[in-house]
Amino acid sequence: MKNRKLRPSSFSAQKKTFSTAVAMCAIRSALRPFLTRPDVSFTALLETPEDIDSLFYHQAAGDLLGKDQLYDEFGNDLISIVRGDELAIVNALGKILDAKRCVILTENLEKLDADLRLVADIEVVLSRPSPAHLLSAARVIGLKGMTPQDAEYLADLEFRRVLLAVRGGRSLRSAISRLRRSELKAKSVADEETIRPTKPNKTLHNMAGYGEAASWGLQLAEDIAAWQAGLIDWEDVDRGAVLFGKSGCGKTTYGRVLAETCGIPIIEASSASWQAMGHLGDMLKAMRRTFEIANKKAPCILFIDEFDSFGDRSSNTAGDNLDYKRQVINGLLECLDPPGGRPGVVVVAATNFPNVIDPALLRPGRLERRLGIPLPDENARVAILRQHLRGLAPPADLLQFVELTAGYTGADIEVVAREARRRVRKERRPLTERDLLEGLPPSRALSDIELRRVAIHEAGHAIVSQVVTTIEVQWVVINRRVQLGDGGNSLGHLEYKLQESVLETEESLALRIDAHLAGIAAERVVFGKHSTSGGGAHASDLRIATDLATRVERHFGFGANLVLDLGSGAEALESLRMRDPRLWRAVDLRLRASLKRTEAILREYRAELEQLTGWLVDKGRVSGTEVRKLVSARRGHPGDTNPAIESQTESQVAESKREWLR
């Protein structure tokens, strides 16, 4: 985060002299090869620290090079000092080519025009003010009382704060005292705000919707109690976990409820709160101070929000901030895994983007667990609603509420409950389902045609998943109503358990693609064409299948070559496809081959597809047990795979490769 630049015009004469004297130290170090040889011509590109205004360095360079002798007797430039953010390239080039000695100051060397960098003799990134610079500057301007210890202290602060404190007419001792008092006050405020009290009577025993995270938290509470009683060593307790899930799913609430369940305090922090303390040194100090507080309060939960802000050192998206990011992550690693350990401190981090976290942070002994918080299912949504109704008796019939809140997070349901409580409190009457529905966006019932298409789509997913994959379908669900104006509507879904394989083959990955495209395939088998229900969103069937096919080609070596390319950035797979037309075509061929295979499966199981569709239209939901019985009746044995499907998969993939190579 960049700080606002300090302008020399905003300071007293003494302050300008001090700041310029500090800047001159860095300029002198960069230009030393030329300063001893005044007859040598040169052009120097100098990158200034991002939070210090380049005008300070502009003035310092002029003082060093002799700004009083800018022209020779013929009026030609002898010295030119250019700030990259002030002059157009053509003017800057003109001044450089005419001048004998030229200094160009910029905030970012990499962003300079290529022509400018061609004419430069040297490129230097100016160092930040060091203790030696501050001591030298104090001597130059006659600032009395500067000791090496003072210089060490001031160099570790944000330079902006040093310049604000060292004012004309104020002694150095007074300036340093003010800085120390300000730092102590900020530390005290940060410490007070760090420890958050948990809400009483809310524990993981009575909170719904947290899935495996709830089970882990309850086990953690037992382990911490056993550790406190001396029954187990700290090595037997999990040290930390990363929570991930959609925004609003209750990650922050989970941290507080976890602390309440364990009966210990919670300390809350984030990258942003540490960064707000100042530059890199201040941020690292704030981070270490938080861990020190946690150690003093142990046993406790240290909750770090928005954990993806730290990023990944291996990512090439950091640009000019890569070194900064590396130092921050290295500092965090030291805090997470200190030589003496951190007994009694469990670190829980929360993120919406678990895939952009540096792998080193997730190693054993650090944040060793990955806990997904799912979107609440039907039972969890009702339980969450009851929690937020705060004693109000819920309506007996919640069928429409359950249907219309598919895809809702706990935070979304809390808003609905709050609006309903407000409405019945004002009218002094019992709560009805209508009160809840009025807090939802407008909706309408699906027509018979729409309902049948949705049922066919979801039935296709269920049947193909059961026939060709190890997915254990638990429920197939369709919604009878749809919210208006919401492009992310969930018209139906499968609830399932996925038995993840440690090792996948090209064939098993192809079958997973088949399962994702089965909804589209079912619509094409029955209606001759598919609708928009399979695409158009990041979580859509087509998006997931497309990304999986891309990984098959580029990540796992199943394409036409063995070259591994993981891509980079938030949309790594999409960027891979966009920059490589051959890859785009290979992925398209895989998807088309998969769609062809899946349509063949569903034509074979057409009777079962129609049967399951009818059940869904009638009941709205069908259990996985019923689906398995329906499919196994045709196959003869519930667990058998279809040899024809396997051989067809292999031949189709081979044909795709041959067509691409042609």
DSSP secondary structure letters along 70-117: -B-TTS-BSEEEEETTTS-HHHHHHHHHH-SEEEEEES-GGGS-HHHH
The pLDDT of 403-417, averaged and rounded, is 81
Per-residue pLDDT band for 646 (boundaries 50, 70, 90) equals: very low
H-run or E-run covering 396: none
- What does the pLDDT read at residue 9? 38
Task: Write down the pTM of the prediction.
Answer: 0.53
- What does the pLDDT read at residue 530? 93
In contact, 499 and 472? CB cutoff 8 Å: yes
Per-residue pLDDT band for 645 (boundaries 50, 70, 90) equals: very low
Per-residue pLDDT band for 220 (boundaries 50, 70, 90) equals: very high
Spatial neighbors of 631 by CB under 8 A, at least 6 apart, are 463, 466, 467, 605, 608, 638
Distance CA 518, CA 645 (A): 14
Q: 542 or 635: which carries more pLDDT confidence?
A: 542
Give residue-wise pLDDT tens across range 301-320: 999 998 888 877 765 544 45
Q: 299 or 408: which carries more pLDDT confidence?
A: 299
CATH number of 8-165: 3.40.50
- What does the pLDDT read at residue 174? 85
In contact, 376 and 408? CB cutoff 8 Å: yes
- What does the pLDDT read at residue 595? 95
Instruction: Name the token pair of 634.
Output: 């045709």
The pLDDT of 283-292, averaged and rounded, is 89
Tell me the C-alpha to C-alpha distance, in Å, between residue 110 and each of 57, 97, 526: 19, 21, 57
Lowest-pLDDT range of 145-159, 496-510, 535-549, 605-619: 496-510
Q: 280 or 613: which carries more pLDDT confidence?
A: 613
Confirm whether 458 is a catalytic residue.
Answer: yes
DSSP E strands in 361-491: the ranges are: 369-372, 443-445, 472-478, 481-483
3-state secondary structure of 586: helix
Distance CA 642, CA 578 (A): 36
Distance CA 331, CA 338 (A): 10
pLDDT of residue 32 exceeding 60, the answer is: yes
Give residue-wise pLDDT tens across range 525-562: 999 999 988 888 877 899 999 999 999 998 888 988 88
Q: 34 or 616: which carries more pLDDT confidence?
A: 616
417-422 long-range CB contacts below 8 Å, 24 or more apart? Answer: 417/385, 417/388, 417/389, 417/390, 418/388, 420/389, 420/392, 421/389, 421/390, 421/392
The answer as to CATH 3.30.70.20 being correct for domain 197-372 is no
pLDDT of residue 294 exceeding 80, the answer is: yes
In contact, 246 and 375? CB cutoff 8 Å: yes
- What does the pLDDT read at residue 1? 42
Shortest CA distance to 481 belongs to which of 580, 404, 374, 419?
Answer: 404
Q: 99 or 27: which carries more pLDDT confidence?
A: 27
The pLDDT of 141-149, averaged and rounded, is 83
pLDDT of residue 452 exceeding 60, the answer is: yes
The pLDDT of 85-97, averaged and rounded, is 55
Q: 36 or 513: which carries more pLDDT confidence?
A: 513
Q: 90 or 296: which carries more pLDDT confidence?
A: 296
DSSP secondary structure letters along 492-541: EEEEEE----SS--HHHHHHHHHHHHHHHHHHHHHHSS--GGG-SSTTSH
- What does the pLDDT read at residue 362? 85
In contact, 589 and 581? CB cutoff 8 Å: no
- Across the chain, what does the average pLDDT equal? 80
- What does the pLDDT read at residue 76? 58
In contact, 99 and 80? CB cutoff 8 Å: yes
The pLDDT of 520-528, averaged and rounded, is 95
DSSP secondary structure letters along 214-259: HHHHHHHHHHHHHHHTTSS-GGGS--EEEEE-STTSSHHHHHHHHH
Shortest CA distance to 67 belongs to which of 103, 36, 19?
Answer: 103
- What does the pLDDT read at residue 253? 86
In contact, 256 and 291? CB cutoff 8 Å: no
Distance CA 470, CA 464 (A): 11
Q: Into which CATH architecture does domain 448-661 fall?
A: Up-down Bundle (1.20)
- What does the pLDDT read at residue 513? 94
492-497 and 472-478 as β-strands: parallel, antiparallel, unpaired? Answer: antiparallel
pLDDT of residue 156 exceeding 60, the answer is: yes
3-state secondary structure of 126: coil
In contact, 105 and 27? CB cutoff 8 Å: no
Per-residue pLDDT band for 91 (boundaries 50, 70, 90) equals: low
Give residue-wise pLDDT tens across range 157-194: 777 778 778 776 778 888 888 888 877 766 655 554 45
Distance CA 613, CA 527 (A): 14
Distance CA 492, CA 621 (A): 9
Lowest-pLDDT range of 4-18, 232-246, 300-314, 585-599: 4-18
Per-residue pLDDT band for 609 (boundaries 50, 70, 90) equals: very high
Instruction: Name the token pair of 343.
Output: 């007994």
Q: 386 or 489: which carries more pLDDT confidence?
A: 386
First to last CA, the chain: 51
The pLDDT of 456-472, averaged and rounded, is 91
Please tell me which residue in 458, 553, 608, 626 is annotated as part of the active site: 458
- What does the pLDDT read at residue 652? 46
pLDDT of residue 454 exceeding 90, the answer is: yes
- What does the pLDDT read at residue 641? 42
In contact, 136 and 148? CB cutoff 8 Å: no
- Residue 201: other Cβ atoms inside 10 A: 6
Distance CA 505, CA 239 (A): 35
Q: Which amino acid is at 20?
A: T
Domain-wise residue ranges, the chain: 8-165, 197-372, 378-440, 448-661
Spatial neighbors of 367 by CB under 8 A, at least 6 apart, are 239, 240, 241, 242, 336, 347, 349, 361
Per-residue pLDDT band for 604 (boundaries 50, 70, 90) equals: very high
Which burial class, exposed, middle or buried, applies to 108 when counting CB atoms under 10 A from its CB (0-12, 13-18, 19+)? middle
pLDDT of residue 606 exceeding 60, the answer is: yes
Instruction: Name the token pair of 425.
Output: 């409190």
- Residue 446: other Cβ atoms inside 10 A: 18
Topology match between the domains 197-372 and 448-661: no
Where is mean pLDDT largest: 95-104, 137-146, 252-261, 388-397?
252-261
The answer as to CATH 3.30.420.40 being correct for domain 378-440 is no
- What does the pLDDT read at residue 222? 93
- What does the pLDDT read at residue 51? 64
527-530 long-range CB contacts below 8 Å, 24 or more apart? Answer: 527/453, 527/456
The percent of residues in the chain predicted with pLDDT above 70, rounded, is: 83
- What does the pLDDT read at residue 72? 56
